[in-house]
Amino acid sequence: MGTLKKVIEFIANNSHDANKLIDIPAQGRIISKKQFKKVMFYNISDGANTIQITDNKGLLKHKNLKVDEVIKLNNYTLPMKTDGKLKNEIYVNNKSNLEVTGPIDVEDYEFPSKQRKTLQYLRNFPQYKFQTAYLSNLLKFRSYVEMNILNHMVDQGFVKVAPPLITENDCEDSGETFSVISTAKKHFFKPTKTQKENKEGGHANLTVSTQLHLEIMNRTIQKVFTMTPCFRAEKSDTKRHLSEFWMLEAELSYVDKVEELCDVTERMIRSVITGLLKDNDGLKFISNYEPFESTYDHLDSVDEKITRQEKMLQKWMLLDKAEWVRLDYSKAIELIQKQIAENDCFFVNENINWGDEISTEHEKWLATEYFKAPVFILNYPKKCKPFYMKKFKDEKMRDVVANFDLLFPEIGEIVGGSLREENYNLLISEMQERNMNLAHMKWYIDLRKNGSVPHGGFGLGFERLIVHLYGLNNIKDAIPFYRSYNNTLKV
């Protein structure tokens, strides 16, 4: 197996005789080519390393090499060491042998190298888009952040578990689920007792959240977590929504204060930021070139004096140094109402009262402009949140729940969590009040009367975190192959 790493190691460890032919194959994809007078320069990459091929005499001109073609070069020479410095560079000579192992069909190739590619354009070519440095680096960045989080959770004593993705449950009770249908048999799964009574066949959904199954495993393992795809059939095609996305979910037993969940969440995300800032480790994934969202964006762009690397470093440092705010829902509503009263037409939604959902524009304003830091909003009204959250009375005797939403600057909510109702009678009462099917959720309710413990958990929308940390404008770019409402599944 020929890799560029072997070539680079050979360059570093050997004396440089300009006449010695090297037969270690240099193979990779041409990512750029340029000409300076009669000299041609080709940069090739194997996906891990990059090397420059220099053709001083135009010996490869007749090959008409194209960007994105894959080539293999043998019998090249190495550069002479100058000023103690070495370049990852090799030279073509009369005895060099170059083979185009992955040619391009010019007439059929829809991804021209010379065209300035906007992100909007790249989304139309999921099979080719990772040939751009910006998006291939994003894949590496995503992997880096994911591994950092997984390692942190294990270090904190969490056990990674594997809940199912096919389920009968709708954790959020929203009805926005994808049904699983078998081509082999109409009713692939046997019906449950409730389904039989309703004369239904066995049906299944793709999970909207693994929380309910995590609660089962959390009964015997104090701290569990998972990182899985989740699916929501929400009819929303925005820069913040996906139909298939990844979520890190965690459940902790013997927790009785929502602030404890906030502590765990903050430590987890701060661990990522610390890793990015350590020796500027995160900058290796950040190039200073950033494609526009669309062909019209450059008309409104500002000629900034700082590079993209400097901009991202500032963003990470702000998250690292900031004191993450913890704010009661009622206080958040007061701040939003005060802003509306003092500034006409500041928000699109100018009508918000206690008991209403906090909209995305309000979330962004709180985190981005008012506090300029991540914000935990605690203790929402009961009617705004799902049935499983533990409720209590606030100082005005209103029904609220022991929960939090973590808001990030520029993006809004990225994490939601709560204490879970562990009391059997209180859970049944809440479900009845919401006209839920108790028989359908009997197994979940029964957990409360058979050795229940205080517990809570949270879910992190992984792509939303990536959007902020990588400086993306659209969540569709934060996942390799996006699935969203009213969009074509190209691959």
The predicted pLDDT at position 176 comes to 85
Same domain, 373 and 470: yes
Q: Which residue has the tokens 């891990």?
A: 48
End position of a domain, from candidates 77, 109, 141: 109
The domain total for the chain is 2
Same domain, 21 and 164: no
Q: What is the CATH number of the domain that holds 33?
A: 2.40.50.140
User: Containing domain of residue 265, as a range?
Assistant: 129-477
Partner residues linked to 456 by β-bridges: 252, 419
Q: Say if 118 falls within a structural domain.
A: no
Q: What is the pTM of this model?
A: 0.92
Same domain, 360 and 454: yes
Tokens representing 38?
């009669």
Q: What is the CATH number of the domain that holds 267?
A: 3.30.930.10
d(CA 181, CA 203): 8
Same domain, 302 and 428: yes
Partner residues linked to 189 by β-bridges: 202
| CB neighbours of residue 138 within 10 Å | 22
Helices 462-470 and 308-321: crossing angle, nearest 10°?
120
Each residue's pLDDT tens digit in the chain (491 positions)?
A: 557 999 999 888 876 677 789 999 999 999 999 998 889 999 999 999 999 999 999 999 989 999 999 999 999 998 776 555 667 899 999 999 999 999 998 878 878 666 668 899 899 999 999 998 899 999 999 999 999 999 999 999 999 999 999 998 776 666 689 988 888 877 788 877 666 655 565 678 999 999 999 999 999 999 999 999 999 999 988 898 999 999 999 999 999 999 999 999 999 999 999 999 998 999 999 988 788 886 545 444 445 578 999 999 999 999 999 999 999 999 999 999 999 999 888 888 888 999 999 999 999 999 999 999 999 999 999 999 999 999 999 999 999 999 999 999 999 999 999 999 999 999 999 999 999 989 888 999 999 999 999 999 999 999 999 999 999 999 999 999 999 999 888 88
Q: Say if 486 falls within a structural domain.
A: no
Four-residue CA torsion sign, 315, 316, 320, 324: positive
d(CA 429, CA 433): 6
Identify which of 323, 331, 333 has the alpha carbon closest to the alpha carbon of residue 358: 333
Q: Which residue has the tokens 């320069």?
A: 41
Same domain, 303 and 393: yes
Q: Say if 489 falls within a structural domain.
A: no
> Are the beta carbons of 5 and 48 closer than 8 angstroms?
yes
Identify which of 279, 274, 317, 10 has the alpha carbon closest to the alpha carbon of residue 145: 274
**What is the C-alpha end-to-end distance of the chain, expressed in Å?**
29
d(CA 471, CA 483): 20
The predicted pLDDT at position 304 comes to 59
DSSP state of 66: -
d(CA 491, CA 480): 11
The residues, any chain, with a CB within 8 Å of residue 397's CB and separated by 6 or more, are: none
Classify 479 as helix, strand or coil. Answer: coil
Same domain, 81 and 176: no
H/E stretch holding 417 reads strand 412-420
Helices 462-470 and 258-277: crossing angle, nearest 10°?
40
d(CA 426, CA 436): 14
Same domain, 98 and 238: no
Q: Say if 60 falls within a structural domain.
A: yes
The residues, any chain, with a CB within 8 Å of residue 75's CB and separated by 6 or more, are: 21, 22, 23, 93, 95, 96, 97
Q: Say if 299 falls within a structural domain.
A: yes
The predicted pLDDT at position 186 comes to 76
The residues, any chain, with a CB within 8 Å of residue 436's CB and separated by 6 or more, are: 173, 387
Q: Say if 148 falls within a structural domain.
A: yes
